[in-house]
Structure 1
Amino acid sequence: MPARPELSPGLIVIHGNHLEELRALAVQWMRRYPLRPLENEVLLVQSNGIAQWLKLALAERDGCGIAAALDVDLPARFLWQAYRNVLGKDAIPQQSPLDKGAADLAPDAAVLPDLLAEEAFAPLRRFLADDQDLRKRHQLAERLADLFDQYQVYRADWLADWAAGHDRLRTSRGGERLLEGDSRWQPALWRALLADVGEQHLAESRAGVHPRFVARMGELDAAPPGLPRRITVFGISSLPAQVLEALAAMARFSQVMLYVHNPCQHHWGDIVEDKDLLRHEYRRQQRKGRPGAQIGLFEEEDMHQHGQPLLAAWGKQGRDYINLLDQYDEPQRYREQFERIDLFSPASENSLLGQLQNDILDLRPLAETRSTWPAVDPARDHSLRFHIAHSAQREVEVLHDQLLASFSEDATLRPRDVIVMVPDVNAYAPHIQAVFGQFSSDDPRFIPFTLADQGLRGKEPMIIALEHLLRLPESRFSVSEILDLLDVAALRQRFAITEDQLPTLRRWLEGAGVRWGLDASQRQSLGLGENLEQNTWRFGLRRMLLGYAVGSADAFAGIEPYDEIGGLDAALIGPVTRLLETLDRHLQQLREPATPGQWGERLRSVLNDFFLPQNDREDVLTTQLLDALDAWLELCEAATLDEALTLPVVREAWLGGLDQGRLSQRFLAGAVNFCTLMPMRAIPFRQVCLLGMNDGDYPRSQAPLDFDLMAGDYRPGDRSRREDDRYLLLEALLAARDRLYISWVGRSIRDNSERPPSVLVGQLRDHLASAWTLAGGGDLLHGLTTEHPLQPFSPAHLGWQERYIFADLGGGATAHA
């Protein structure tokens, strides 16, 4: 048996413009250099889509034949475990006490209240005025925890200065400025937090652990126990400088493979306005030669002026990441181990989409594009299309029709070859369900589809009912609210109420005069006066019980009997009574503040008393709820939080954990994939469809917090929603192999007035109009754009014969037919 080849440590960076080629090389490399038995492959990814796509390739017969022994993780989580393996699990806790989650409880419980009296904290004191239920204080603590967590990753130098007593900010250009006015409370809060958790916990924070880890890796002569021999980083579009520094340190003993999606085969780091920010000695790709010259390179000012427009406008995040990689990359060390370390290949030149992708690959300026490509004939070239509709519903209806046409034209096209991305999948989910879910599987118009990235809150009936129950102190107990709860099967089952009994119950409630309010005392708690028992649930229940007992007799003790209760249906009164008693009991408990431990008992009791899962899905939801509750209680225990908390704080802490991203979310399920535009969701598909590309909706606006000091000091590697969305659109454009479909609400549904698309779509359309011409003359964008009528039954959809008949139905329609 041949000896197993040994892995050579080092940092290896593979660039490519097609993810499928990078994936093929990654699988081939794992086959050529397999790990030892019972040794896991470590894969670092940024989204569940990339993870599943990579696993599918490993499981194929041409791959490794099976996808097993894989540790798929997010970079930050993996890095913390690496810290613990190298520095010792006794010295480094399982979770940093200053990470988001634990840190949002510690300052809230012990630090903030004591600091508000100080002059530096006047801005926070004004914000926290009138905060009886402590909701604002906990929300502020959560935002601060997230902000300081970002500081630990991206601005560790700031935190070190603040801990040393220097109220200053080091800038990206090597300078510094003093903090003044309304921002001085941040260094003071950081020092107070460190004093509260102690010097030991400061050393256990990311900002404290990372330099110790890098220094320790530099001192070791052999690989520390627990450090994986190979680390594969696949398809991540951006990493913080801190993570890259750690990976470079681990590369002394581990083989660190980074597969980088690079849209351009030339050096493109200078095609920005602020050239000084990114000027460096580039050691990988060469600058592109000057057009028309046999020898010679663009000068930096020429690169700035003649770069590819879309790459310059949308590629800032990718440029910064590649330039950060270049600080650690030494391709001469490993180039001989590969046939190619730059896997760049052109797209087909027979379509407008392929020509555009090749322009980006070859860094073609506008003038060169005009002279390179022929005129576009939309009748033959369907690779790039724009669609304008009047509403999100019409967008999805148009998409359904267009997909049916595509499947009819191309027998090789399958639903799994299509991905549909939207800025917010939760906003489009009802429309998608209404349009794609209206046909049965045996209907020729049926298109299988899956919805990814949906949050559980607002989607799952059981979660919606639970959230309503956790708002009982604010509820008016209207008939419609309680009946909505009874629409949830798990809740009905707990109280032995069947679905066919609901019409009877509705009739009884209407006849007994139940309108709102549990009883007079519950109404009084809402500030609505005393002794208002009329038309409450208790009032109606007494009428129904008395009517069952005495029939149509006279009033007794001021209660008028409701005599419609009788026969076998009367058994329904018992479950309704138990439901109201249970609601009343939990209402009294939820009103009172309690410690986290007491809240844990109360919330488990709410789940157990109101829900009885009846299927696997409800069992999974119950498990997720209990896991989220246990995780929150563990954080409270780690932060030694024993303060009495109010219901709004606990409710958001518990249910907010349900929608956090997970690598286990379903994706690539063999149907048309609907999902949110997310980082590295740009897996290659034959058709890429973008919906909802409206002005104001994309790029998504996420204004930074007023006190986020990183907003005014951008550094390469920083995460930015604005730059994220620009680079996402570039990745989506490059991921389409056959067709790119873009639609937006371009007409008002009220007055048909024009509405602009996203500014990024506008840039794309402007570039196309400037660089290409329409065959036969005319407006290119007009030939690539379809404006759809308001209604799907509009005569505009019919042929000329049908339109003629439709317009003349009042006279002679039969003759025309």
Structure 2
Amino acid sequence: MRDEQTLTPGMMVVHGNRLEELRELAVAWMQRHPLAPLENEVVLVQSNGIAQWLKLALAEQSGCGIAAAIQLELPARFLWQSYRAVLGSDEIPQQSPLDKAPLTWRLVRLLPALLQDQAFAPLRRFLADDADLRKRHQLAERLADLFDQYQVYRADWLADWAEGRDQLRTSRNGARPLDESVRWQPALWRALLEDVGAEQLAGSRAGVHPRFVERLRQLEARPAGLPRRVVVFGISSLPAQALQALAAMARFTQVLLCVHNPCRHHWGDIVPDQDLLRHQYRRQQRKGGMAPGLSSEALHQHAHPLLAAWGKQGRDYINLLDMYDEPEHYRERFAAAGQRIDLFGEGDTRHLLGQLQDDILDLRPLAETRASWPPVEPAEDRSIRFHIAHSAQREVEILHDQLLAHFSRDASLRPREIIVMVPDINRYAPHIQAVFGQFAQDDPRYIPFTLADQGQRGREPLLIALEHLLKLPEGRLTVSEVLDLLDVPALRARFGIEQNDLPTLHRWIEGVGIRWGLDGERRAAFGLDPSLEQNTWRFGLRRMLLGYAVGRGEACAGIEPYDEIGGLDAALIGPLVRLLDALDQLHRQLDQAVSPARWGDILR
């Protein structure tokens, strides 16, 4: 059995301006200090994309040769599991009563009674004219998300509000009173706490976290549920609560934080609003030549403007790390392995992107930047490009064209070396599938791709089909929507349709001229004449059935028979009729106002 002491506990923080070097260090550290054969390596990441990128490095021959027993976790989920491991699963519920999902429905229930209070006048005005309760549900979702973030990032505000102090603590350990226009927030928080009750409140994050930290301070040995090592990789920012929990765990667990820091100098004082966050201790030192007595205005100017404008979250994170980081305790361990804990290094500055990265790395103000680099020739430098597109579909088309151009220019470039970031993957996923999935694998324009960070709602065919079905009253029931439903194996099996039947159905649907709409009655909801059934599903079915009955013949009641249906293939009409009858019945059910219990029956 491997000795427990071979892995020295403690918090170690490695800074670097290039994720590739941080990744190499993390892989090398895991290789040099392996865990037991059946022990999982716990890695905290902020997205599945970063997780996949890290696993590829582990699987390469230059890495570990295989990526196995890697437990990739999001920080919030890992911390809750750690709370339960240390404090006991009987004492801590699987889900906090103040988590976003249960909190949403609690707010939906509480809001009507609270609106009578004058303190909630802003909410009362917003929720006026809300007959179908849609606005109330949307507001509850937004408020649940807001309070969920407050619990993680500003637990001190919530503590004050719970005690009746309507104020906001500031970065200088002061406090300022809340404006009258937002005093409904602390009032709503107090109403929530009262509704939850003291017993359940002890199981919330605000109640659990202090007990977790205190328990770890009192223990003499590592609890069985805590891992021996935690690697935090590629996370641009962690809240103070998470860092405090990791620091408490570091008594028994080796915690390695790989921090992507774009600047080698201390830049915590460089802020756009000149709100100087000064510390007694700093990991990085001030840049040489910067006078220590600069005024807030001069200090604000003596920096790179992108760090000042866009770097607030990163600044707060690095300043928080200073409170827990003691590099003298672990610097020698890395030096003995030929590694550094500050991986700052210059890159290629022959292009604009490299020059910009070097400016941020060296904290150059604009005047110094202009003096350092020659003028850029836009036609020759393509390292930074901006494209204007009118829709998400067009954005993805431009991306595909640009990637093909890059592959044509650089034969050594591989698809696995490219990662594309988007603000909302679920919004872009269908456009990515449509553009990147339109070419066969033997087509020279084909680019292999995978989608990361999609929730089950965007990945599971059954859930996607369920969402499509729930939107029946709002949709047009186009041909593509029905064919998408038939791509789901479980739905095909329900109506006895085989996958190899789909080309035949597709040919028939196209042949009879079906376009959209179940029938004229459904089209009337879109402002059309209900008697206009041309190109609807009912009209197409009548053409198919008439063609099967009479073959080639004269039109009957204005319906032209579709005579290409015959033989064994004709049996497919039955399942198609049953499918459309089921869609018709479901459409009528979903179009009615019913009780929540009845909605549950319909969903099941």
Q: TM-score range with shorter-chain normalisation?
A: 0.7 to 0.9
Output one character per residue of 1:637-668: Cα deviation in whole Å (capped at 9) or x when no partner.
Answer: xxxxxxxxxxxxxxxxxxxxxxxxxxxxxxxx
Q: CA deviation at 1:126?
A: 3.4
Q: CA deviation at 1:276?
A: 4.3
Alignment correspondent of 2:123: 124
Alignment correspondent of 1:740: none
Look up the equivalent residue of 1:334 and give its one-letter code.
Answer: Y
The 2-side partners of 1:231 and 1:464 are apart by: 35
The 2-side partners of 1:552 and 1:348 are apart by: 73
Residues 182 and 62 of structure 1: CA distance in aligned 2, closer, same or farther (over 3 Å):
same
The 2-side partners of 1:482 and 1:408 are apart by: 37
The 2-side partners of 1:396 and 1:547 are apart by: 43
The 1-side partners of 2:160 and 2:361 are apart by: 43
Is the CA contact (8 Å cut-off) linking 1:169 and 1:177 kept in structure 2? yes
Q: Secondary structure at the match of 2:467?
A: helix
Match of 2:325 among 302, 325, 329: 329
Look up the equivalent residue of 2:264 and give its one-letter code.
Answer: Q
Task: Out of 580-589 and 401-410, give the one that drifted further.
Answer: 401-410
Alignment correspondent of 2:248: 249
Alignment correspondent of 2:190: 191
Output one character per residue of 1:70-101: Cα deviation in whole Å (capped at 9) or x when no partner.
Answer: 22111111111111122221111011011101
Output one character per residue of 1:112-136: Cα deviation in whole Å (capped at 9) or x when no partner.
Answer: 2333333333333333334333322
Match of 2:302 among 302, 306, 310: 306
Is the CA contact (8 Å cut-off) linking 1:237 and 1:260 kept in structure 2? yes
Output one character per residue of 1:732-777: Cα deviation in whole Å (capped at 9) or x when no partner.
Answer: xxxxxxxxxxxxxxxxxxxxxxxxxxxxxxxxxxxxxxxxxxxxxx
Q: Secondary structure at the match of 2:6?
A: coil
The 2-side partners of 1:412 and 1:552 are apart by: 60
Look up the equivalent residue of 2:140 and give its one-letter code.
Answer: A
Look up the equivalent residue of 2:334 and give its one-letter code.
Answer: F
Gaps of 5+ in 1: 291-295, 554-558, 605-817
Residues 175 and 132 of structure 1: CA distance in aligned 2, closer, same or farther (over 3 Å):
same
Is the CA contact (8 Å cut-off) linking 1:517 and 1:537 kept in structure 2? no
Q: CA deviation at 1:238?
A: 0.6
Between the aligned residues of both structures, percent identity stands at 65
Look up the equivalent residue of 1:278 and give its one-letter code.
Answer: L
Q: CA deviation at 1:492?
A: 6.0
The 1-side partners of 2:543 and 2:351 are apart by: 75
Q: Determine whether 1:213 maps to 2:232.
A: no
Alignment correspondent of 1:176: 175
Q: Secondary structure at the match of 2:147?
A: helix
Alignment correspondent of 2:31: 31
Q: TM-score, normalised by structure 1?
A: 0.62
Q: Determine whether 1:593 maps to 2:594.
A: yes
Residues 152 and 387 of structure 1: CA distance in aligned 2, closer, same or farther (over 3 Å):
closer
Is the CA contact (8 Å cut-off) linking 1:288 and 1:298 kept in structure 2? no
Is the CA contact (8 Å cut-off) linking 2:272 and 2:309 kept in structure 1? no
Output one character per residue of 1:700-732: Cα deviation in whole Å (capped at 9) or x when no partner.
Answer: xxxxxxxxxxxxxxxxxxxxxxxxxxxxxxxxx
Q: Secondary structure at the match of 1:259?
A: strand
Is the CA contact (8 Å cut-off) linking 1:153 and 1:242 kept in structure 2? yes
The 2-side partners of 1:231 and 1:335 are apart by: 18
Alignment correspondent of 2:265: 266
Is the CA contact (8 Å cut-off) linking 1:120 and 1:182 kept in structure 2? no
Q: CA deviation at 1:46?
A: 0.7
Look up the equivalent residue of 2:320 and give its one-letter code.
Answer: L
Alignment correspondent of 1:687: none
Alignment correspondent of 1:96: 96
Q: CA deviation at 1:260?
A: 0.8
The 2-side partners of 1:364 and 1:327 are apart by: 26
Q: Secondary structure at the match of 2:521?
A: coil
The 1-side partners of 2:410 and 2:537 are apart by: 61
The 1-side partners of 2:230 and 2:460 are apart by: 37
Q: How does 1:449-468 map to 2 (within 5 A)?
A: 449-452=449-452, 466-468=466-468
Q: How does 1:109-120 map to 2 (within 5 A)?
A: 109=109, 111-120=110-119
Is the CA contact (8 Å cut-off) linking 1:170 and 1:177 kept in structure 2? yes
Match of 1:516 among 517, 520, 534: 520
Task: Out of 386-395 and 321-330, give the one that drifted further.
Answer: 386-395
Q: Determine whether 1:320 maps to 2:316.
A: yes
Alignment correspondent of 1:281: 280
Q: CA deviation at 1:102?
A: 1.4
Is the CA contact (8 Å cut-off) linking 1:46 and 1:235 kept in structure 2? yes
The 2-side partners of 1:230 and 1:416 are apart by: 28
Q: Secondary structure at the match of 1:267?
A: coil
The 1-side partners of 2:584 and 2:428 are apart by: 37
Residues 178 and 542 of structure 1: CA distance in aligned 2, closer, same or farther (over 3 Å):
same
Q: Secondary structure at the match of 2:13?
A: strand
Output one character per residue of 1:341-364: Cα deviation in whole Å (capped at 9) or x when no partner.
Answer: 211122134444434333322223
Look up the equivalent residue of 1:338 and give its one-letter code.
Answer: F
Q: Secondary structure at the match of 1:338?
A: helix
The 1-side partners of 2:444 and 2:581 are apart by: 51
Alignment correspondent of 2:362: 362
Cα-Cα RMSD: 4.4
Q: Determine whether 1:19 maps to 2:36.
A: no
Is the CA contact (8 Å cut-off) linking 2:48 and 2:453 kept in structure 1? no
Q: CA deviation at 1:50?
A: 1.7
Q: Determine whether 1:56 maps to 2:56.
A: yes
Q: Secondary structure at the match of 1:214?
A: helix
Is the CA contact (8 Å cut-off) linking 1:548 and 1:563 kept in structure 2? no
Alignment correspondent of 1:719: none
